[in-house]
Amino acid sequence: MTMTGKEFVAHVAATIEPLFRASEIQTQAYFRNQPDLDEAIFHFKRRMFNERMNIVEISKTLAAMPASADPTQLKLLAKQVLDEAKHYDMVKNVIEYLSGEAFSDQELEAEFAWQMDEKNVKAKGASLFEEIGGHEDELMAAVYQFVAEGRAGRVWNAMATSIADPIVSRTYAKIAKDETFHSHIGARTLERLAVTEEAQARVLAVIPQMTERMYWINCMGTEATREAAALVEGAYGHDLGEDKMSEMGKTWFEPKGELVDWVPTPRGQFEQEESAVDNFAQ
């Protein structure tokens, strides 16, 4: 029996919840295990350029929309592009605050080239947008937005609640709130489009690909916990056993000691630059 659009969105939300919870668990384990500052900065650079990728991918979608497109949808996607640009700047500011060094233009260009290299770009969630055909297919763009942005909101919040630095925590909590809003844009589109048996089947067919890729994207950047693996394996049947972990170059998480919120020792000062755009504004 075909579900209504609203019922189907609720069904997808329940389906992807184990992935979201697993991503939270592994992200919090990484930070509460007291990472080295430079290692954490490397981690944040990957996230910074993922936001840069999102600017491009959502902009392409926006530019390709027909003249008959819903004006509300145009406004929502335009807001998301601005939000992603804010996030890129916000994470850049956090990295400079923690490292004590401002990025030079040359460093940004070199870092961007490395991050976008074929062997590195797959470690970013934004790479999934193209993989599932988000550019050509509004339905796939919607499911990506609902799932990927929803998971991003949970991951940013997991960082905000496991890093005991007021600058970093406040910044990442703001990003988490925005990403959750972006997921709601995807839900709105999915509710409108996924109203036939064929459309619903197409969405459900791509979910396993997304959950597996997103699990490994999270796992490779954080920690592989047995608790998270059990959630994902039980919900989706993905192979997350010892052999697969070894193949992916991961070992099971072993805490260094008691897991407590990470308190980094920044090497710089946080300076809010005068800007035409307030990164924290709604």
Per-residue pLDDT band for 122 (boundaries 50, 70, 90) equals low
Over the stretch 69-115, which tens digit does the pLDDT of each residue have?
999 999 999 999 999 999 999 999 999 999 999 999 999 999 888 87
C-alpha angle 93-276-156 in degrees, rounded to nearest 5? 35
Cβ atoms 32, 261 nearer than 8 A = yes
In this structure, of 57-71, 142-156, 192-206, 248-262, the range with the lowest mean pLDDT score is 57-71
Tokens describing residue 71 = 């004006």
Over the stretch 164-174, which tens digit does the pLDDT of each residue have?
999 999 999 99
Q: Is the pLDDT of residue 274 over 90?
A: no
pLDDT at 53: 86
Tokens describing residue 83 = 């939000």
Q: Is the pLDDT of residue 129 over 70?
A: yes
Average of per-residue pLDDT across 234-243: 93
Q: Would you give the distance in Å from CA 185 to the centre of its chain?
A: 15
Average of per-residue pLDDT across 187-199: 97
CA atoms within 13 A on the CB side of 269: 3
Report the sign of the C-alpha dihedral through residues 18, 21, 26, 29, in that order.
Answer: negative
Tell me the CA end-to-end span of the chain in Å, nearest whole number. 40
pLDDT at 115: 78
Q: Is the pLDDT of residue 205 over 90?
A: yes
Nearest to 49 by CA among 116, 119, 100: 116
Alpha carbon distance 132, 148 (integer Å): 12
| C-alpha to C-alpha distances, 255 to 33, 186, 211, 246, 271, nearest whole angstrom | 6, 37, 26, 19, 34
